[in-house]
Structure 1
Amino acid sequence: MTMRYVALLRAVNVGGTGKLPMSDLRAICESVGFTNVRTYIASGNVVFESRLAEPAVKARLESGLQAYAGKPVGVLIRTGAELMAVLAGNPFKTAAPNRTVAIFLDTPPAADALSRVTGQQDEEIALGTREIFVHYGSGMARSKLKIPAASAGTARNMNTIETLATWATE
């Protein structure tokens, strides 16, 4: 059975050291056997279909990206249903969606993950299933927030998550 997945790449941007044109990302996905590949904004978001299970999808995409970049590129994989669950589970639904993020993780955060947070000012933080939710009251630019448990994750704001969830479930 074919599944639709969303891949969220870590440390990818439109300029600088992590530069990965979205056309190249689409080509990499197709070269490792994924179909109906579609990227969303230039920050490492891609929706595609595969018959493989999530661990194999992750391994195949990470391998293709490493061959391209010459270094490991972290990838977090979710299904459309999982992204819909993230939207439903957002504890900060009344906050501005562009100031609220889910930091996606490979595994569930430890129960004490928030005990090591530093620099917290007006940010609100909550644990999710395989995510850490953060509402940046004054915006991300001014924040000094450090969440050690999120160091291997990648953040997306609620607007981006909503678009990706819609694409992955349509």
Structure 2
Amino acid sequence: MATTARTSTYALLLRGINVGAHRKVPMADLRTLLTELGHGDVRTYLQSGNAVFTGGTRDEGALAADIGQAVEKHFGFTVDCLVRGAPYLRAVVENCPFPAAELEGRQLHVTYLSERIDPGRLASIDVKSFLPEEFRLGERALYLYAPGGLGRSKLADVLGRPSLTKGVVATTRNWNTAVKLAEMTGGTAR
């Protein structure tokens, strides 16, 4: 009797590519690279380093390391990579501590984290001085409400300081992208 290998759907989040003239990763090339690594049903979303693919059930960290090495070899520079499965992406959307349905996508952001961070790292932030901007820490995710958008957010600047994310890969997406990645992996519908 033949056994069928189990496959899972993942999202790949690349950090800091296609911003300005440096660190260009064309999405067509990224799709080809992921396919050459043996992943199936490879799709990309936007130009900011979001891809969805299927593959055997594997450790997300190992997948991210393998893809990171392949990206460096192919494109000639190091890129931080996060890989997350559909259940995690669904949980990020479902556990949003802000009223996402009432907000514009540009007002709400998720910073995906490679590991859970100690809330004590963020304790020094004087949250009242940034109102109406707010943040909440989730499970390997940080939610940011920035009513003026990320580009104008003073709180985002503080949260992005290396001292707060030392040793952790962190990459941010707006809410529309967070929801779309969950949808593309089969994690949730809008």
* TM-score (normalised: structure 1): 0.91
Per the alignment, in what secondary structure is the counterpart of residue 42 of structure 1? Answer: coil
Deviation at 1:52, TM superposition (A): 4.5
Rounded Cα–Cα distance in structure 1 between residues aligned with 2:35 and 2:109: 29
Q: How does 1:4-83 map onto structure 2 within 5 Å?
A: 4-13=9-18, 15-53=20-58, 54-83=60-89
> Among 136, 156, 163, which residue is 2:173 paired with?
156
Percent of pairs with identical residues: 32
CA RMSD, 1 decimal: 1.9
Give the counterpart letter for 1:97 in structure 2.
G
* Superposition misfits of 4+ residues, deviation over 6 angstroms: none
User: Unaligned 5+ residue runs, structure 2?
Assistant: 1-5
Per the alignment, in what secondary structure is the counterpart of residue 62 of structure 1? Answer: helix
Give the counterpart letter for 1:111 in structure 2.
P
Query: Structure 2 vs 1, CA of residues 115 and 23 (structure 1 numbering), >3 Å: closer, same or farther?
Result: same
User: Unaligned 5+ residue runs, structure 1?
Assistant: none
1:107 aligns with 2:115: yes
Give the counterpart letter for 1:99 in structure 2.
Q
Bigger drift between 8-17 and 141-150 goes to 141-150
Q: Deviations over 1:45-72 (max 9, x none)?
A: 0000111512321121111111122221
> Among 109, 129, 142, which residue is 2:152 paired with?
142
Q: Deviations over 1:91-149 (max 9, x none)?
A: 11243232101100100121213224478353110000001110102222222221133
Bigger drift between 4-13 and 139-148 goes to 139-148
Q: Report how many aligned residue pairs link the two structures.
A: 170
* TM-score (normalised: structure 2): 0.82
